[in-house]
Structure 1
Amino acid sequence: MLPSLRSPAARLLRSSLVAWPSTFAAAHTASSPALSPASTGASISRGFKTSARLYQEPIVDTTDCSKLSDKDLNEGLQHETAESRAGKPFNVEYLRESMARRPHRATYDFLSPTHSHLLNIALWDALPREARAGNIPDSAVSEEASISQFFLPSASTSETHELPSGHHLVYFPLQRPISLLEPDGTDPNQSPNVPFVRRMWAGGALNFRKPQNMQLNGGRSVCVERLDTPNMVMRGGWGREKIFVDVVRRYGAIVADLDLNPSVTEPSKLLGLENKVWEDCDFEERRTLVFMRAKDDVPEEDASAPAKKPKTEERIIKSSKEPEYSFAFTPTPTLLFQFSALSYNAHAIHLDVNYCRNVEGHRDLLVHGPLILVLMLSAIRSRNTSSQIPPSRFIRTFEYRNIAPLYANEELRVCVRRNVLERAAEEPSAQWDVWVENNRGSICARGTAIAHA
């Protein structure tokens, strides 16, 4: 199972603007709770206690929210929201219980090579040849070369390809009509909702267990998603709270019999398939999202307090080591649009520059957190020099965090450096550090991969 956010390292990291998960723990899916049509988290102990030092006053409400009816819980949430607007601290336990009662979600998709192929085309100008996924012929483009190399491979070929690491991000899209999205175009199922309406992708982790099962052969696969509410955390004082929500997603390509037996689509049988994937998935992902109040919902500075010096420039974080490999490019609005289209991501911070500047307070469009993840995985994959290990199986685990925004129209650089060599019982593995710098050389994202040596 992916790491808990309660580790000492994670508690330290979450104190910054954007947090990331701690290191991978050993997988123990056999002990994971089975899914049910109701809440997947109802049977999990909720022993979280809010630290009073983070707030202006301690929370004295000792209500056991797990025993409340849905009606009473909703009324409690409305009361907490109203009280928070009046300057009182928000009792996160109401929010935790409300989110714990949300049912798990299963998203089915067909692993056609089309989306992976289109992602390769979108990244063709950004990635050097050795970092590409390889679904497009490696012949260099020249004036004499035909553009037919970018055409989707013939459907008549019997050759199949494994899903490249990171390319799952353009499959299993959010399946909701526009009317059921948040005003900024995001998924309401993952959001704490009012008053915490601003969302950022803070980091995450991946565990590639059986990537060879995820074949781009048109077969049906499923992603089962639940919210890890026991590890939900609130940080920051009143008016500047940050809610960290972990979304756990498990993927499996073991439902081919859906098309052969229509009766399998009965809800109870679908639930059995989804439980099977949850207990024995092909790979697992944890996404850490951070939610904040709207900009106009943040309290004004105390007029009686000493004036603070204006912030003139962003903090610069330099790497202490030189990379052994790197590549640079400038993300364009066109690339951000194409990635949004492929991942079915309608978040306005990637599409609407006026929204970025006037609502979120950013200077330009933001590069997607998932796109940054694809770039880091691509850089690590380029270090695979073995002819015996397929590129999709090179990376075993990966954890990462986003530290600061990256913007469109500003050059970024993706850097990789081998860290240490670890000797497992039977198979050696290597640890790789990867980071992404902005145009000032400051680290905006970093991650660590365990890969085959």
Structure 2
Amino acid sequence: MQSIRSLAARRLRSSPSSCFTATPASALGPGSARFPMAIFAAQLRGIKASSKLQQESTADTIEYSKLSDEDLNEGLQRETSESGARKPFNVEYLRESMARRPHRATYDFLSPGHSHLLNIALWDALPLEARAGNIPDSPQSSASEETSISQFFMPSASAPANNSDHELPSGHHLVYFPLQRPISLLEPDGTDPAQSPGVPFVRRMWAGGALDFRRPQNMQLNGARAVCVERLDTPNMVMRGGWGREKIFVDVVRRYGANVADLDPSPSMTAPEKLLALENKVWDDADFEERRTLVFMRAKDDVPEEDAAEAAKKPKAEERIIKSPREPEYSFSFTPTPTLLFQFSALSYNAHAIHLDLNYCRNVEGHRDLLVHGPLTLVLMLSAIRSRNTNSQVSPGRFIRMFEYRNIAPLYANEELRVCVRRNVQGRAGDERSVSEPSARWDVWVENNRGGICARGTAVTHV
């Protein structure tokens, strides 16, 4: 059996643009990030993050970490087979198996094209103050004039160094660093197998996440090469729910580095050891960090009829209407269309069928219409927060410093939604940078057409 390291090296040589290298996900550890995202992720899943839990988790996995790859795979296959006979699934085999997956690095060029197209896709949805600035390099028309088609010309990638007008807007990273995997290697629902626990947990939803904008000014839309390094935070992986209703929460940590000047197209530079050194450098000192919490569940038809009938008695997430106790100080409303969902799927290279295939949504997942993307909901929330920037000394791309969010219930195409913002607390917000820099805290949430909260988050911004 080939080792993971040799397989990773082969992938590096064959595809340097989107590759796996051999640093294990277990390299994630306490203190590896300046922002306590792991604690937030634990809170997102409704569990308490404590040193005791971490110690217990470590003790539980010591035995599994000593298993050979062959023994681990056999154990995982046995658990998968026996889980069909109502035996509780031993998540530790799965945790160790996912911990041994190598990290992934995806390279891209930060040209303004994708950000520009996202601005256009959201043009009708966002009010002027919530847009990601004006379309770069375009002539401005007065409010009384009909919008000129020349406003939508593709902008130039050439810009002076550190030009704030060419900084990557907050949230627009979601249409860069796309999944680079042929269709034959995707999951049946169009999702990324590298993040999935695999059978029997084949249904995926975006549960929430957190963003830490450390040096956003480095993410310039100037055509420079950048890299995203991704690892699975398996120590924080958890399974909740009884047999047939299991939910496995997987945290995907992504760190981004811009202006990767160390990388050139020469064969010596794209050697695996060179790329590994570069990716480790970005991991240790990233310009921007993101944590995505994904939840995986069994297929709808993988549960016996009696259990499905019992589950059907419980109200669905969208039926449990939770309303905000306070009115927003700012909000905007619009109705997401299937066209918008298609455009966002295309820009983010997201082939998940729940956003594209109405038949799949209704007959496989049990939803009444296409679902709005979790990442698109994130962009909308960040856009609403960006509208609160009244400080001319802080560029829009640098206004938001950190953001935590949670998706609570589905949002559907063809149903109006409202994005709301309200200032919460001004002053120090708990991160080390706020000691010397004044900051503000904002609550943001998204309501469906019945006024129920479907997503909510908290942002820390410059004042």
CA contact (8 A) 2:262 2:278 kept: no
| 1:111 alignment partner in structure 2 | 110
TM-score normalised according to structure 2 size:
0.84
Residue type at the aligned position of 2:36: P
Evaluate the alpha carbon distance shift between residue 114 and residue 141 of structure 1 in structure 2; reply closer, same or farther with a 3 A threshold.
farther
SS in structure 1 at match of 2:410: coil
| Cα displacement string for residues 2-43 of structure 1 (whole angstroms, at most 9, x for unaligned residues) | 4355x5x7656525xxx9x98xxxxxxxxxxxxxxxxxxxxx
Give me the whole-angstrom Cα distance separating, in 2, the residues matched to 1:172 and 1:303. 38
Corresponding position: 1:292 with 2:292: no
SS of 2:269 mapped into structure 1: helix
The residue aligned with 2:36 is 3
Cα distance per residue 1:118-148 (max 9 Å; x no partner): 0000000000000111141563677754201
Work out whether 1:125 is the aligned partner of 2:143: no
Q: Contact 1:46–1:230 at 8 Å: present in 2 too?
A: no
Q: Deviations over 1:44-66 (max 9, x none)?
A: 9882689xxxxxxxxxxx99221
Q: Residue 259 of structure 1: CA displacement?
A: 2.8
Contact 2:72 2:97 in 1 (8 A): yes
Structure 2 CA distance for partners of 1:253 and 1:309, relative to 1, 3 Å:
closer
Residue type matched to 1:427 in 2? E
Are positions 1:446 and 2:456 aligned together? yes
> Structure 1 residue 80: deviation in Å?
0.3
2:94 alignment partner AA:
L
Contact 1:418 1:431 in 2 (8 A): yes
Change (3 A) 1:88 1:341: same
Distance 1:166 1:301, change over 3 A: same
Q: Tell me what 1:66 maps to.
A: 65
Residue type of the partner of 1:223? C
Counterparts of 1:322-401 in structure 2 under 5 Å? 322-401=327-406
CA contact (8 A) 1:221 1:254 kept: yes
Cα deviation code 1:307-342 (max 9, x no counterpart):
958879811100000000000000000000000000
Contact 1:113 1:216 survives alignment (8 Å): yes
Whole-angstrom distance in 2 between the partners of 1:447 and 1:321: 14
Letter in 2 for 1:3: P
Q: Which has the higher helix share?
A: 2
Change (3 A) 1:154 1:95: closer
> Which residue is equivalent to 1:206?
211
Paired residue for 2:95?
A: 96
Secondary structure of 2:305 counterpart: coil
CA distance, structure 1, for counterparts of residue 116 and residue 415 of structure 2: 26
Relative distance call for 1:141 and 1:354 in structure 2 (3 A) is farther
| Distance in 2 separating the partners of 1:406 and 1:14 | 20
Structure 1 residue matching 2:220: 3-state secondary structure: coil
**Does the 8 Å CA contact 1:415/1:434 hold for their aligned counterparts?**
yes
Q: Secondary structure at the match of 1:201?
A: strand
Q: Contact 1:4–1:231 (CA<8 Å) still a contact in 2? A: no
Which residue number in structure 2 is paired with residue 30 of structure 1? Answer: none
1:250–1:282 contact (8 Å) kept in structure 2 = yes
Q: Is 1:426 aligned to residue 436 of structure 2?
A: yes
Q: How does 1:15-414 map to 2 (within 5 A)?
A: 15=46, 47=57, 64-136=63-135, 137=138, 139=141, 144-154=146-156, 161-259=166-264, 262-301=267-306, 308=313, 314-414=319-419
Contact 1:117–1:135, Cα closer than 8 Å, also in 2: no
The answer to whether the Cα contact below 8 Å between 1:164 and 1:392 also exists between their aligned partners in 2 is: yes
Matched to 2:45, the amino acid is R
Query: Once the 2 structures are TM-superposed, how far is the Cα of residue 381 of structure 1 from its aligned partner?
Result: 0.5
- Structure 1 residue 174: Cα displacement: 0.3
Assess, with a 3 A threshold, how the Cα gap between structure 1 residues 131 and 307 changes in structure 2: closer, same or farther. closer
Distance of aligned partners of 1:67 and 1:349 in 2 relative to their CA distance in 1, 3 Å threshold:
same
CA RMSD across the alignment: 2.7
State the SS of the aligned residue for 1:258: coil
Q: When the two structures are superposed, what TM-score results if normalisation uses the length of structure 1?
A: 0.86
> 3-state DSSP class of the match of 1:288?
strand
Deviates more, 1:89-98 or 1:302-311: 302-311
Shift of 1:264: 1.6
Return the letter of the residue paired with 2:151: Q
Residues 1:305 and 1:332: Cα distance change in structure 2 (over 3 Å): closer
- Structure 1 alignment gaps of length 5 or more: 23-43, 51-61
The code of the aligned residue for 1:386 comes to N
Q: Which moved more, 1:421-430 or 1:187-196?
A: 421-430
Do 2:251 and 2:294's aligned partners in 1 also have CA atoms closer than 8 Å? yes
Q: State which of 432, 437, 444 in structure 1 corresponds to 2:447.
A: 437
Q: Please list every run of 5 or more consecutive structure 2 residues that lacks an aligned counterpart in the other structure.
A: 1-32, 429-433
